[in-house]
């Protein structure tokens, strides 16, 4: 089987590196006849690359090459990746991608198109980098009704939060450090604002719950407002703040999908997921909790997931393996403000009067303390309540200024 | 497709429960036409069971039923499970098992027999209970050269060690507690002595390194000699003692396979794996480290893994999916006494003279301390050295009595 790669950036060149370096292991361990890289498409020139003779700038060289059965799309973005992928699948070629934006937007259509053409559209690398998660949800947990899926899906923000927790760096200092180390982009918006994690939780929710969910249906809140004060208060409670993407099934069958800073208790496997690592928890009705942990990004880990998909496409050539999920239904996604949870709250401008009022209104709160606490600062953890009710009650207390309101998870 | 279950114990009855309870989810999520439990084989009577009409005591009722395509073997032990499995596979029926003893002993032959008959022999539940690990190694990590695989593979011993670490219970107290809670059997030998973990690391090593390894080739040392003194010293070093099964590839291509108490540093995902939970770390040359965490035993988690295999057998009916590994070669397994590692050592009968001698002989040691330390007690962590050399050097020091010698891992 011959393979092409579209987009020779970090991941694409990593895919080529893994295909070359591990060629013998791959062919032998997977009982393949052959696996050969034939063509690489990129608009840039790579004259001194060891594979310089394989480059093309014309997509048709891949589309019309009947020897090429599997194409790796690592260009990123929706256009023209979507058009390229559609044309390839329509010709019965399988496509493997790490492009979470495209899968989150067009996964439903592309899986259907793959099925119509007895091809495969695979995207293990789109979530959790090198961590096997797509295939385990699709295959290994297929006997479970999945109740919830939640994880640390973005390495950049996890690095920043880890630095805030472990070294007391401010968010801006930690972001600056992450940029210097190459963990954050120059424009870090998609990471910091939770957009990247939002795409990934869409893909996980699609798989776990069987219907396409679009990124604009995800309640998304990034880490921009997390302060060291929050980090300290939460530490005193025996927890850490992590940016968590989660999708949870309600009793009525609808799904709550959100990306937001969340308090994770220290004993959780998610709490000990530090730096650029990712971890994804799947809660099944038979399995209980399982956690998948590893490098969520990086050239070779991501390439390792892409190449595993390539091998799977070769082994399932002419036979669709991935089961398409159903199309989107807007009312499948429920309002997360109605989801009961405990919450961590930090407020300013609290005096004896408003404190008494607050305790009356909410009740059963656990008061937190930190060093050098402001005299008008007050932080606590509530019992179980839905966010709408909590915000309403807090809003009724005159003059109190809410600085943070973060759900406390039970993972 | 119709399914039979052989052995209606904890796991077998759990499989029936999951098949019934999640039937609709299973059929729908996996696009199956039908999945129906037809026959249950057990020598005991279950007159009040909801499936009482499905029971038989005659194996031939399953073997000769052409409607039954997949058989679940949850009887345990090598005989007659081996004979039953062989006969079923020879007839082209796929077999799914949680029987680690059988897979560790006969996996090579049975996989080959499955392949010859276009059937499947699957055993996701044989390692790590409900945790997806067999299929991820086989599929998701197929692009990696696996360098090492290591894990907490036995929930009973992990529960005991966790109690020793967290509450200061002695080994006997913790074992007693585990037995009361149903986590340990009346005769706990197979767990405590590392035999159960030994079978599991064989299966993982077979998959990761492609050749069958027998349990008698595994250097196996249980937890019987771990004391609270060790727990305390290791805690002062920033670590915990866990029973680890590991298989590591050497530069010459041979494999070191062992089960033994090991020091895990606190920051590791394996260190925070507490109680009856299991965790398995896979180190690949592209992936880096990935960890799979979850319930390593229990009725429903294990059943969840078995049923996932059943679904996979149905989806791959008439087509062998699992790739057989090669047959055993005795010299494929290397002597673990030659594996370089750091070691934690605790000794008695150490005086100023022997201490000086010890420091001269070994060099670069980190001395540990604990509360209420005996005056002649001495504990330390070495630099990297192989166990043979370390034992030789320690043996040369007169009168010093070595109480513990435990490798320090880098997971």
Q: What is the ipTM of this complex?
A: 0.95
What is the SS3 assignment for B216-272? HHCEECCCCCCCHHHHHHHHHCCEEEEEEEEEEECCCCCEEEEEEEEEEECCCCCCC
Q: In Å, what is the CA distance from B371 to each residue of B67, B232, B352?
A: 67, 8, 20
**What is the spatial distance between Cα A400 and Cα A403, in angstroms, rounded to a whole number?**
10
Alpha-carbon dihedral sign for residues B84, B90, B92, B98:
positive
Strand pairing class (A68-73; A2-6):
parallel
Give Rg (Cα) of chain B: 23
**A104: enclosing H helix or E strand:** helix A100-116
**Does any CB of chain A come closer than 8 Å to the CB of residue B308?**
yes
> A287, B304: Cβ pair inside 8 Å?
yes
The per-residue pLDDT for A85 is 98
- Report the catalytic residues of B: 200
Question: A 314-343 residues with CB below 8 A of B?
Answer: 323
Average of pLDDT values for A64-92? 97
- Of the partner residues A131, A286, A298, the one whose CB lies closest to the CB of residue B290: A131
pTM: 0.96
> B136, A135: Cβ pair inside 8 Å?
yes
> B132, A136: Cβ pair inside 8 Å?
yes
Residue pointed to by tokens 């036409």:
B33
Q: Dump pLDDT digits (tens) for A165-218.
A: 999 999 999 999 999 999 999 999 999 999 999 999 999 999 999 999 999 999
**Does any CB of chain B come closer than 8 Å to the CB of residue A26?**
yes
Give Rg (Cα) of chain A: 23
Nearest CA in chain A to B130: A287
> A145, B311: Cβ pair inside 8 Å?
no
**Does any CB of chain B come closer than 8 Å to the CB of residue A142?**
yes
**Does any CB of chain B come closer than 8 Å to the CB of residue A274?**
yes
**pLDDT digit string (tens) for chain B, length 411 residues:** 999 999 999 999 999 999 999 999 899 888 888 899 999 999 999 999 999 999 999 999 999 999 999 999 999 999 999 999 999 999 999 999 999 999 999 999 999 999 999 999 999 999 999 999 999 998 888 899 999 999 999 999 999 999 999 999 999 999 999 999 999 999 999 999 999 999 999 999 999 999 999 999 999 999 999 999 999 999 999 999 999 999 999 999 999 999 999 999 999 999 999 999 999 999 999 999 999 999 998 999 999 999 999 999 999 999 998 888 999 999 999 999 999 999 999 999 998 888 888 888 988 899 999 999 999 999 999 999 999 999 999 998 888 999 999 999 999
């Amino acid at each position: 089987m011959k393979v092409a790669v579209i987009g020779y950036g970090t991941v694409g060149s990593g895919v080529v590196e893994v295909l070359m370096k591990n060629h013998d292991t791959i062919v032998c361990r997977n009982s393949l006849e052959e696996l050969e890289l034939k063509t690489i498409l990129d608009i840039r020139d790579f004259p001194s690359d060891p594979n310089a003779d394989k480059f093309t700038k014309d997509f048709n060289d891949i589309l019309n090459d009947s020897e090429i059965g599997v194409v790796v799309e690592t260009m990123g973005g929706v256009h023209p990746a979507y058009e390229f992928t559609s044309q390839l699948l329509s010709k019965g070629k399988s496509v493997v991608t790490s492009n979470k934006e495209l899968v989150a937007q067009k996964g439903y259509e592309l899986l259907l198109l793959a099925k119509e053409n007895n091809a495969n559209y695979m995207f293990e690398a789109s979530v959790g980098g090198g961590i096997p998660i797509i295939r385990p949800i699709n295959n290994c947990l297929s006997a479970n009704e999945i109740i919830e899926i939640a994880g640390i899906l973005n390495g950049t923000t996890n690095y920043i939060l880890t630095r805030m927790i472990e070294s007391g760096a401010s968010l801006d200092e930690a972001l600056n450090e992450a940029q210097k180390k190459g963990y954050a982009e120059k424009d870090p918006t998609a990471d910091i604002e939770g957009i990247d994690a939002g795409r990934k939780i869409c893909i996980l929710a699609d798989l776990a719950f069987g219907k396409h969910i679009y990124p604009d249906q995800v309640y998304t809140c990034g880490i921009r407002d997390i302060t060291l004060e929050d980090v300290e208060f939460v530490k005193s409670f025996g927890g850490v703040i992590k940016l968590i993407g989660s999708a949870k099934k309600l009793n009525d069958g609808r799904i709550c999908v959100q990306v937001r800073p969340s308090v994770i208790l220290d004993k959780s496997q998610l709490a000990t997921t530090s730096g650029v690592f990712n971890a994804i928890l799947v809660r099944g009705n038979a399995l209980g909790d399982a956690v998948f942990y590893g490098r969520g990004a990086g050239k070779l880990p991501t390439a390792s997931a892409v190449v595993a998909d390539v091998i799977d496409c070769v082994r399932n050539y002419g036979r669709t393996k991935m089961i398409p999920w159903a199309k989107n239904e807007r009312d499948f996604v429920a309002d997360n403000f109605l989801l009961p949870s405990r919450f961590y709250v930090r407020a300013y401008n609290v005096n004896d009067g408003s404190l008494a009022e607050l305790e009356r209104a909410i009740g059963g709160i656990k008061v937190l303390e930190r060093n050098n606490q402001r005299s008008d600062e007050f932080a606590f953890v509530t019992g179980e309540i839905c966010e709408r009710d909590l915000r309403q009650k807090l809003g009724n207390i005159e003059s109190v200024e809410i600085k943070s309101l973060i759900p406390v998870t039970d993972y």
